[in-house]
Amino acid sequence: MEIDVKIITAENYVTTLKAASRPYHNHYYAMYSSMLGGMVTDPALMQLPIDDHIVHRGDGVFDTFKCVDGAIYNLDAHLQRLERSATAIGIEWPGGLNELRELSIATIRAGAKRNCSGRVMLARGPGGFGVSPFEAPERALYIIAYQLGQPFMKKKPLGATVRRSHVPTKAPPFAGIKNCNYLPNVLMKREAVEWGIDFVAGFDNNGFLTEGATENIGIVTRSGELAFPRLENTLAGTSMLRLMELARNSQTDNANLISVVTLRDITEQEIFDAAELLIVGTTLNVVAAVEYEGAAIGSGTPGPVWRKLNQMLEDDITENKELRTVVFSANEGSKDG
Ligand X SMILES: Cc1ncc(COP(=O)(O)O)c(C=O)c1O
Q: Which is nearer to ligand X, 140 or 167 (CB)?
A: 167
Q: In the complex, what is the shortest distance from the CB of residue 201 to ligand X, in angstroms, rounded to a whole number? A: 12
Closer residue to ligand X (CB): 139 or 242: 242
- Least distance CB 134 / ligand X (angstroms): 28
| Cβ neighbours, 10 Å, residue 187 | 15
Please give the Cα distance from 210 to 306 (Å, whole number).
20
Catalytic site includes residue 178: yes
Contact 46, 144 (CB under 8 A): yes
Q: What letter represents residue 8's amino acid?
A: I
Give 107 or 216: the residue with its C-beta nearer to ligand X. 216
Residue 136 or 284 having the CB closest to ligand X: 284
**Least Å distance between CB 35 and ligand X?**
25
What angle in degrees, to the nearest 10, is found between the helix axes of 238-249 and 75-88?
Answer: 130
Q: Are 285 and 33 in contact (CB under 8 A)?
A: no
DSSP helix/strand/coil, 178: coil
CB 215, min distance to ligand X, A:
5
**Nearest CB to ligand X, comparing residues 139 and 178:** 178
User: For 198, how many CA atoms within 13 A lie in the half-sphere containing its CB?
Assistant: 23
SS3 content of the chain, % helix, strand, coil (to 5): 30, 25, 40
Phi, psi torsion values for 22, nearest 5 degrees? -125, 155
Work out whether strand 199-201 and strand 160-164 pair parallel, antiparallel, or are unpaired: parallel
Q: What's the one-letter identity of residue 229?
A: P
Q: Which residues pair with 50 in a beta bridge?
A: none
Active-site annotation holder among 113, 178, 189, 308: 178
> How far apart are the C-alpha atoms of 241 and 245, rounded to whole Å?
6
Taking the complex as a whole, the smallest distance from the CB of residue 236 to ligand X amounts, in Å, to: 8
Smaller CB separation from ligand X, 116 or 280: 280
Interacting residues toward ligand X by CB under 6 A: 64, 185, 211, 214-216, 235, 237-240, 280-282
User: Which residues, including other chains, have CB under 8 Å from residue 170's CB and lie 6 or more apart?
Assistant: 184, 233
- Name which of 17 and 88 has its Cβ closer to ligand X: 88
Reduce the DSSP state of residue 226 to 3 states and report it: strand
Calculate the dihedral angle through the C-alpha atoms of 179, 181, 184, 185, rounding to the nearest 10 degrees: 60
- Closest distance to ligand X from the beta carbon of 51 (Å): 26
Q: How far is the CB of 280 from ligand X (least distance, A)?
A: 6
Can you say whether residue 294 is alpha, beta or left, with left for phi > 0 and alpha for psi between -120 and 50 degrees? left
Query: What residues are labeled active site?
Result: 178
